[in-house]
Structure 1
Amino acid sequence: MTPHNGEALRLVAVRKQYGTVTALDGVSLSLPMGTFTAVMGPSGSGKSTLLHCAAGLDRPTAGRVYVAGAEMTGDDETALTKFRRERIGFVFQRFNLMPTLTVLQNVLLPRRLAGMPVDKARAIATLRRVGLGDRLSHRPAELSGGQQQRVAIARALVTQPQIVFADEPTGALDTRSAREVLALLRETVRRDGQTIVMVTHDPVAAAHADSVIFLADGRLAGSMLAPSPEAVAERLAHLGDDLRVGVRPA
């Protein structure tokens, strides 16, 4: 196993260029295992690009990405897909569940696609942990938005990933469901030592995290420990005034 020194994620001078547009401009950061980190910034700041590059959904133009000490490399998409499936979990805003599959089948799908042994007992136990033990045979259309997102979280956790990336996981939910989903994400960090990186635009959502990383113009613009909604909103309002390059999140 590659040594990771307690690091779940490390980015080294990651740059992403789309034609003449620089979406990420030499971002370096290190996140420890067992932490919940929110990534925030104004529209166009590079937060989604950061997540996509860190999660292996997009390739950086330059720089390196390490997950639990292993460098994300691969000469082709097959190798990159294998890396993601073995190490990374995903939770998306729109759930991305298969409508024709049951809750249990949706949670088992990543292991089937990866050609991994299907551990039905683990999948059921994970669904019970997210409060859906009585919905195993339901299909997504029979669930509320919050319940669908909990299925998506169970699907991300069942492969025991080293890190879970969540892209606006509460963006399609009402306030109550969003609060429940965020509490569940936080619980997986506290109880299981899971590492979560969440992109969000919502200061209330960010306040559930241990720390917040701020981006502006594709660069790191500071970080905040033990965030409150008010403090996060205040920082966002003045983000362009105090841009600092290369700040490492605490």
Structure 2
Amino acid sequence: MTDAVRLESLHKTYDETVTALAGVTATFATGTFTAVMGPSGSGKSTLLQCAAGLDRPTGGRVFIGGTEVTATNDTAMTKFRRQRVGFIFQDYNLLPSLTVEQNVVLPLKLARRKVDRRRCRDVLAQLGLGDKLDARPEKLSGGQRQRVAVARALVARPAVIFADEPTGALDLRSAQEVLALLRAVVHQHGGTVVMVTHDPMAAAYADSVLFLADGRLAGELRAPTADAVAERLAHLGDLVGAQR
């Protein structure tokens, strides 16, 4: 099994005083669904942004599909990200002036890649949005907007999809639908998903959970259940203290 993403000794410091990441080394294998969890301020969103090439670490290296993205300049990193990475935001990041279909194909156009309209519409149909191609985001429910964001990430066939609290603003039913879709991306289509979440129920959809605390790794849980995740979260401080 190859590594879709490899992080080597990632450090991230803000204003030379706040340490968000303190030497995180981790790998995310191709064809796996990994949840990243930890208390507020643990560094999980920073890790996701650095891994996806949305932010640069202060130190360390990031590899996506064997390419070291941290060795490139900002322009090259942006180009690589558009070609190889999908990102799903909690607040959807849809442009209100564009239709559903236009939002989905926008990353392809920005990357100057050929737009496959049939694939776009097939993906939207699979996500239950086949009749919403011309709708504006304001006409959609929260769950529908997040499915548009998922479609936007999928249509470019990225090497890896990063999702930052993708269900945080959704009701239970919509959240379950989105999580089931992400799991299908991995187990039915061989994709790779790395998801930050605070919800043990959401983490239970993943193959494994990576825990962070105070910018450091604090353990991993394979084949997670919601109860096991909640139990591990309750003792993260003890685990970090024991590792120091």
TM-score of the superposed pair, with normalisation by structure 2: 0.96
Q: Which amino acid aligns with 1:16?
A: K
**1:69, 1:179 → 2: CA distance?**
32
Which aligned pairs between 1:85-164 and structure 2 lie closer than 5 A?
85-164=82-161
Shift, 1:78, TM fit: 1.4
1:87-107 alpha-carbon deviations (Å, 9 max, x no partner): 100000010111111111111
Indicate yes or no: 2:192 matched with 1:185: no
Unpaired stretches in structure 1, ≥5 consecutive residues: none
Measure the CA separation in 2 of the matches of 1:241 and 1:73. 33
Question: Letter of the aligned partner of 1:152 in structure 2?
Answer: A
Distance (whole Å) between structure 1 residues aligned to residue 72 and residue 203 of structure 2: 35
SS of residue matched to 2:63: strand
Structure 2, unaligned runs of 5 or more: none
Residue pairs, 1:8-157, within 5 angstroms = 8-18=4-14, 19-73=16-70, 75-157=72-154
Counterpart-to-counterpart distance in 2, 1:175 and 1:217: 29
State how far apart, in whole Å, the 2-side matches of 1:232 and 1:53 are. Answer: 24
The structural deviation recorded for 1:77 is 2.2
What is aligned with 1:6? 2
Residue 222 to residue 27, structure 1, CA distance change in 2 (3 Å):
same
Percent identity for Structure 1 against Structure 2: 64
- CA positional deviation for 1:22: 1.1
Choose the corresponding residue for 1:213, options 210, 214, 231: 210
Q: Aligned-pair RMSD on alpha carbons?
A: 1.3
8 Å CA contact 1:220, 1:245 repeated in 2:
no
Would you say the 8 A contact 1:219–1:245 is kept in 2?
A: no
CA distance in 2, matches of 1:62, 1:245: 21
Q: 1:120 to 1:245 in 2, by over 3 A?
A: farther
Alpha-carbon distance, 1:75 to partner: 4.9
User: In the TM superposition, what is the alpha-carbon distance from 1:207 to its structure 2 partner?
Assistant: 0.5
TM superposition outliers: structure 1 runs of 4+ over 3 Å: 73-76
**TM-score normalised per structure 1:** 0.94
Q: Which AA in structure 2 matches 1:66?
A: F
Does the 8 Å contact 2:63/2:70 carry over to 1?
Answer: no
The structure carrying a bigger helix percent of its residues is 2
Once residues 73 and 30 of structure 1 are traced to their aligned partners in structure 2, the CA distance between those partners, rounded to angstroms, is 16
